[in-house]
Chain A
Amino acid sequence: MPGDLQAVWLTALLAATTTLLLVPIASPLAWWLARSASPARSLIEAVVAMPLVLPPTVLGFYLLIMLNPDSVVGGLWVNLTGDSLTFSFSGLVIASIIYSLPFMVQPLQAAFRAVPESVLEAAATLGASPRDRWLNVVLPMAKRGYLTGCVLTFAHTVGEFGVVLMMGGNIPGETRVLSIAIYEHVETLNYDAAHMLALGLLCFSFLSLWLVYRYAGHRFEVVRG
């Protein structure tokens, strides 16, 4: 049981870290996707949406190849920190950021698209600089998009399985997250323990989605095209 508690804690830490890091990463990207008329936009949109359709094992496989200590990125990380990116918590964070990117970008993109250019023009004529406009006009108007993005990213990261299994394995306190713990309990025929964790996850997922629909319902839309 202490092992399961550790898994719950590790999962929460992973989901919170991923969400916190994704906010500053996804914001400029979503802003650009919402406002740009560049022909490259649809290309980037497709790349961002890839994790929605790609089997997590495929993503996990390529991340394993890209981030292992013998690769350029993985080697650089080992030189800088002395730690490996594969089979480690830091590696899981990077994988989760990529895996959950569309869940943060798409609600933000929809929220930013709903900010009319005319309102930003009016703010500019009142002396608001681009930064001022972003902080005091765009952000308040997009706060539901941020709520949706954060809840969905957190919940999606909590439910991550395939990518973790490929990239992180099953190291207690390092990469053994909830879904892996459930899988292990089932493998060892410990159904009671699996039940407890599974039911907990079920309730958590329901509550997160209910929160999104309750408070940001009509603003939540998956961006298409």
Chain B
Amino acid sequence: MSHQLIVEGCLARDRFTLELDLKVDLREALGIMGATGAGKTTLLRVIAGLEPKFFGRVEFCGDVWHDCDRSNRVPTHQRGLGVVFQDGRLLPGRTVESNLAFALQRAPSGDASISYEALLQALDLYHLLTEPAETLSGGERQRAALARALLARPRLLLMDEPLAANDASHRQQLVAHLSGWLRAENIPLIYVSHAANELAQLTQQLVVLEEGAVVAQGPTGALLNAPSPLMKRAAQSMTAVVTAIDPECGTTTLQLVDDHLAVGELALGERVFLQQEAADASDLGASLQPEPEENQD
């Protein structure tokens, strides 16, 4: 069975144009990477049918979802999607349980290989079932949205930084669960993220976007390790732990936890000295954010 996704065409916004000619086989999960404002979220919205002004064509598994030439458009609710938005987007005024029920009631019938209980357990949602959506923390909202998208038993799963608001240790577990479920259910996945390690674990192929255009496409592993300035720009986020503080020199030593740093050609095992330029230090300082605490949500 074909799992081909075709997105070709353009979408013009005030200060931004998305221009795409993308053909991918989604038997392998697709990662999307790119700097903020590169068009990652917009691309997902085009695939989901949330951008009616997209001028072009979207096709999935041989079904034409959007074709401006024939003014043919399959509405979002008929595309069989599961979407996890960055902010979770739970339905307000409803509890977590009611949000999950909303998805279950509209899901195609048939046996799911992921049980409801297993999902709640793994996503640590049991104690939140009766909580109103508005009272959840960012991480809790994302986990509930993840459960909701999976319970909809989608033909295609679109995820936009779905774990970003969870802390690092949670994220690792969630990625492991997610990759297990996707294998079990055999759901094609498109995963937008800044986190190289999540992309490496969940996706086999990668598309890098810059200013609304695809600038690189290929196997995830190869692209992530490619020594290009492009990847450095795309891979913005890295997790680090403070390992030493030297009050005399006024410096703090950081140990990178789970991200790679893509640099120029080096020999395997070579020791290198990384020096940060003074001009960059202030920039870096401004973008440094403390890791969310364990008990944050």
Q: Is the CB of B106 within 8 A of A126?
A: yes
Instruction: State whether A137 touches B83 (Cβ < 8 A).
Output: no
Closest Cβ of chain B: how far from A191's Cβ, in Å? 50
Could you say which residues of chain B place their CB within 8 Å of the CB of A129?
75, 77
Partner of B106, one of A122, A128, A130: A128
Q: Name the distance in Å between A135's Cβ and chain B's nearest Cβ.
A: 12
| CB pair A122 B80 closer than 8 Å | no
The answer, yes or no, to whether B107 is at the interface (CB within 8 Å) is yes
Q: Which of A119, A122, A132, A136 contacts B83 (CB 8 A)?
A: A122
Q: Please, what's the 1-or-0 string for B68-92, where 1 marks a CB less than 8 Å from any CB in chain A? A: 0000000111101111010101111
Interface size on A, residues (CB 8 A): 17
A126: B residues at CB distance < 8 A: 77, 102-103, 106, 148, 152
Q: Collect the chain B residues with CB atoms within 8 Å of residue A81's CB.
A: none
Nearest opposing residue in chain A for B133, CB measure: A119
Contacts of A125 in B (CB 8 A): 48, 50, 76-77, 81-83, 149, 152
Which of chain A's residues have a CB closer than 8 A to the CB of B90? 122
Decide if B264 is an interface residue (CB 8 Å cutoff): no
- Least CB distance, B112 to chain A, in whole angstroms: 15
* CB–CB A123/B91 < 8 A: yes
From the candidates A121, A132, A136, A140, name the one contacting B76 in the complex (CB within 8 A).
Answer: A121
| Cβ of B93 under 8 Å from chain A | yes
Q: Is the CB of A123 within 8 A of B102?
A: yes
| A127-B91 contact, Cβ under 8 Å, with A122-B85, A136-B102 | no
CB distance from A28 to the nearest CB of B (A): 19
Cα–Cα distance between A129 and B76 once the two chains are bound (Å): 9
Q: Tell me the A116-146 residues at the B interface (CB within 8 Å).
A: 118-119, 121-130, 132, 136-137, 140-141
4 interchain residue pairs of minimum CB distance: A127-B106, A122-B89, A125-B83, A124-B76
Interface positions of A (Cβ within 8 A of B): 118-119, 121-130, 132, 136-137, 140-141
A-B contact sample (10 more), CB < 8 A, given A132-B77, A140-B94? A118-B87, A122-B90, A124-B77, A125-B48, A125-B50, A125-B149, A126-B102, A126-B152, A140-B93, A141-B92
